[in-house]
Amino acid sequence: MSLALVAAVIVAGSIAGCLGSLLGIGGGVFLVPFLNVGLGLDFKIAMAISLMTVIATSSAVSAGTAGRQLINLRLGMLLEIASTAGGLLAGITVERLTSGALSLLFALVTAAIAVIMVSRLERRNVLDASENVGALGGRFYDEESGREVSYRVKRLPLAMFASLIAGSVSGALGIGGGILKVPVLNAWCGVPMRAAAATSALMIGVTAVSSVPLQYARGYVTPPLAAAAVLGVLVGSRGGFWFGGRARVKWLKLLMACVLFAVSSLYFIRALR
Amino acid sequence: MTNEAIDRLEVQLGRLLLGGVLSAASLLVVGLVMRVLNVAPAFAWFLLNAGLIVLMATPILRVLVSLVEYVRMRDWLFVLTTLAVLGVLCTSVMIALQQRTH
């Protein structure tokens, strides 16, 4: 294992972590192509290392948001049944998939994410503070509007289904999967964007743990490279948060969509080769 | 269940996650530096793996702490929910351990 490779992975992790937190998603969707296409690591190794960084991102981000009532613990735990089940099944199945099939899946998922993002640029779900939020709803102080926000969870089966899909995608492709379920929670299930993002950030860690022990046992998690990626992502995501507080969400979403379309095309080409 | 109890749990879990990610990162930094400088390779390998295991164990601990808290709150629906999540995680760890011995 050369010093240059370790250094390259640290840099890749930092950039992915920075982009990920800037755009409000995990860095996995950038890290996997970096490691796989950029550094020429096998897709399964890239995916397994990325899953490790997903856990680190989840723990670090949730530690930062905890105490602001943004994380909906009960909704999160309920959805984690679906997301971990999906993660475990995908973790078992991924061993049997060829890298061509994985590339195609990666291309489809990134394209789908980009489309969802572009179609839902300005969506809000906010009730009056006095309303009854039900067993799964929540309320928090919204810094953007400067008032208390409450919400009720709608269409729970849909949220569970989205979590199952996000969990499977996470276990198969090594991304957090937050970008798949956050738009669903936000657009159709009544959860405000910031609460959906915070709850999802907590969920992706446990979801990754439903499949990453399998990859670790199979030897895909190369320890020095995984360490380099995790440390890079942790440092990079701090940087991204700092920029993120100073930028407009709408433009970030558009930027993210463009990047994802580019990544998607790259993987379509690889899948066809 | 009171909202205060769930808010307190959120803070408690936040501390746990912070502790987990910081310990993992410290182990990984030391392990990686030793690995790159080729100092005590076996120990460096141990530190790197220990760091990764602490990283993986942190979310599992988070679920365990939630379970204990939901039992204390007598919120049986969420005790069941948390047990289900724990069941999936245990299955994953068991399969992994089995694969490792083969």
- The tokens describing A117, both together, are 């993002």
In which residue are the tokens 């006095």 written? A130
A80-110: b or e for each residue (b if 16 or more CB lie within 10 Å)? bbbbbbbbbbbbeebeebeeeebbbbbbebb
DSSP state of A147: E
Q: Average pLDDT in the A116-134 region?
A: 58
Q: Check if the beta carbon of residue A14 is closer than 8 Å to that of residue A236.
A: yes
Reported as a pLDDT band with limits 50, 70 and 90, residue A125 is very low
- For A262, the 3-state DSSP assignment is helix
Q: Is the pLDDT of residue A128 over 50?
A: no
Is the Cβ pair A73, B9 closer than 8 Å? yes
Rounded Cα distance, A229 and A214, in Å: 19
The mean pLDDT of A140-169, rounded to a whole number, is 86
Report DSSP state, residue A96.
G
| ipTM for the whole complex | 0.93
Distance CA A145, CA B29 (A): 40
- Distance from C-alpha of A17 to C-alpha of A259, rounded to nearest angstrom: 15
- Judged by CB atoms closer than 8 Å, whether chains meet at A224 and B21 is answered as no
Which residues are registered as beta bridge partners of A139? A150
Instruction: Return the residue matching tokens 């499977």.
Output: A168
Enumerate the residues of chain A whose CB falls inside 8 A of the CB of residue B51. 227, 230
Distance CA A139, CA A150 (A): 4
**A254: distance to nearest CA of chain B, Å?**
31
For the cut 50, the answer to whether the pLDDT of residue A105 exceeds it is yes
Structure tokens at A152: 């009720």
Query: Looking at per-residue confidence, does B31 or A177 come out higher?
Result: B31
Q: A33: closest CA among B47, A21, A19?
A: A19
For A63, the closest chain B residue by CA position comes to B14
Going by the DSSP 8-state scheme, the letter that residue A127 receives in this structure is B
* Residue closest to A84 by CA, chosen among B23, B85, B1, B7: B85
Amino acid at A107: A
Percent of chain B with pLDDT over 90: 77
Chain B stretch 56-85, residues whose beta carbon is closer than 8 A to a beta carbon of chain A: 56, 58-60, 62-63, 66, 78, 81-82, 84-85
Cβ–Cβ gap B96/A216 under 8 Å: yes
Instruction: Report the pLDDT averaged over residues B82-97.
Output: 95
- What's the CA gap between B49 and B56, in Å, rounded? 11
Mean pLDDT, residues A153-175: 93
Backbone angles phi, psi at A180, to 5 degrees: -85, -40
Task: List all residues 6 or more positions away from A205 whose beta carbon is below 8 Å from its beta carbon.
Answer: A54, A55, A57, A58, A59, A62, B17, B58, B59, B62
Which residues span the domain enclosing B27?
A: 3-101
For residues B68 and B8, give the distance between their C-alpha atoms in angstroms, rounded to a whole number. Answer: 13
A127 pLDDT more than 60: no
Candidate from B6, B88, B97 with C-beta closest to A85: B88
Residue B84 or residue A63, greater confidence: B84
For A56, which residue in chain B has the nearest alpha carbon? B21
pLDDT at residue B82 is higher than 90? yes
**What is the reported pTM?**
0.90
* DSSP string computed for A15-39: HHHHHHHHTTS-SHHHHHHIIIIIS
Number of domains in chain B: 1
